[in-house]
Structure 1
Amino acid sequence: MKTAENTRGTGSDGPQKRGLCVLCGLPAAGKSTFARALAHRLRQEQGWAVGVVAYDDVMPDAFLAGASALPAPSQWKLLRQELLKYLEYFLMAVINGCQMSAPPSRTEAMWEDFITCLKDQDLIFSAAFEAQSCYLLTKTAVSRPLLLVLDDNFYYQSMRYEVYQLARKYSLGFCQLFLDCPLETCLQRNGQRPQALPAATIRLMGRKLEKPSPEKNAWEHNSLTLQSPAGASGASLEVTDLLLSALENPVKYAEDNMEQKDTDRIICSTNILHTADVTLRRIVSQTMKEAKDERVLPYKLKLLAEELNKLKAEFLEDLKQGNKKYLCFQQTTDVSDVISFFHYEKDNIVQKYFSKKH
């Protein structure tokens, strides 16, 4: 692996290198400060084009428009998917060497914040015919190695997997940086912010946090954990080496071998379905126990049980038939991925019952 000491990414030889870096960790772990410092250093030392996309800067104002409450998890999920679509539009323009047009279906305020984010980092500029919502790529964006750093909590594995899928779709480099900050430190920092999150939200996120697990998930092998705040500033060489490795070893999109996939499905589908069924049943049972402990009213318990069992049945049908209602990634064959997605959807259902006074 080339190191930061002997490699400078000028982008003058061979195809342009492009990559996505997921920067994850609890709120107030220091991600945004770290991302800004990292981007500045990579531009100065490596000569790269770097775009930091901070989800908090792009999404909240566009959605809330002055509202006092945070959007529901299901609404956040839609916003995250929409933002990934914006990123894909930008990547397609870079890869094809063409102008970037606005998607026909978009949240206007969020799209404008996204455009401003790219403009401020010298990646695009408005065309003369701006009324047509077209944007041109800067020389920096097309002539240098390009790294997009996605700054968000990404506390569920499934959230990060969506970014990996985008990298694989376009044969981009992919890596993850996890800022591991003590919960109490995050709470203290958060309390000093002008618009602080509720402490309960951060504590809940801390309990649900799924850290990168390279030993379990092959797609997470390009991951690095940094101790925040002390360890992050002192690991610049290690971080740069990880990013260089990601750019030089893009994720390859494997062509589907349908015959082999069918054979594999016959061999392992029974075992996977059984394991998933047992695990999902246990999750539903545990969730119902928690609901009873929360003194949810009997008629609501019945409704909750119906929703959870319906969700379980739909997940198993997805897994059995290869549908895409919930398991939207064709390569998802690991039971741990199924469980992670199920937890995400289950939590969206549960909050309707646990968040109300009984």
Structure 2
Amino acid sequence: MTDTALVEVRGLTKHFTTSGGVTRAVDGLDFRISRGETVGLLGESGSGKTTTGRLLLRLTPPSGGEIRFNGADVASLRGAALKTFRTQAQLVFQNPFDALNPRFTMRQSLAEPLINAGVAKAEREDRMQAVLRQVHLPDAASVLATFPHQMSGGQLQRVVLARALILEPDFIVADEPVSMLDVSVRAGILNLMRDVRDAMGLAAIYISHDVTLVRYVCARTLVMYRGRIIEDGPTADVVRRPRHPYTQALISAVPVPRAQQNRAPILLRHNRGGSLDLAVGCGFRDRCPHAFDRCVVEKPALRPVASAHLTACHLDL
């Protein structure tokens, strides 16, 4: 582990046992996030993105593998060490309307993490006012007296972000942070998150199915499919020259705002879902237009295909 690595994941798995068998939600992840780095976790619904985010914050116990934060094994943290980790790693929820207690004023919602972290009462008011200014809600007296139902979605998401920032964390997991907001307010929230990231030197992972969001906010992108990372590289490279067949199909489906440009999306085969044995072979083989015999029996490992660009495919596309 290098001095600049804040989060390091090795062989991370999360399997759920159901009446229908074992669901391999997260199936052997290996990646690291450096201090101050912003990473996008991109993929369709059901790919394991949210489960990965919960594992990173120890909100869900892993089935196997290792997560290290600041060099410490997250799974082994107890007592004061765990409490410190909880202040250093925070979550920005997808739905601001569900993230806040409807019976709490904004003052109560923002004070709660401060109280849990043992911040002195005399310091709490200054912290709350400072963080509201940071998220561009300067009228602190009015905001702190307000209940969630009295605020717009954009204002609520700013408060949710403020609550994640109020303990001055080193790392944030943002799970679809603007998907519940009107298009008209998304850009403002994304610009705010970029400003906060730069000002605080935060490391962050943005979980999304939206290629445009990831391209706008993140310097590096991990593409996830059926519990595995199938592409990892600088966002500009992943978007301009995707190397995995799944990423190519994903990028091709993004609408192009130029009517004269004819770019047909890549059509994939029907998803067989639970009928595919994910313990062996490539998890994308049933939908891949390039699949061949090796894909059925051997899982492709992430390998370099360009500078800082990795893909998990047996072919060099």
Higher relative contact order (CA 8 A, sep 6+): 1
More helix by share: 1
Q: TM-score, normalising length from structure 2?
A: 0.30
Q: TM-score, normalising length from structure 1?
A: 0.28
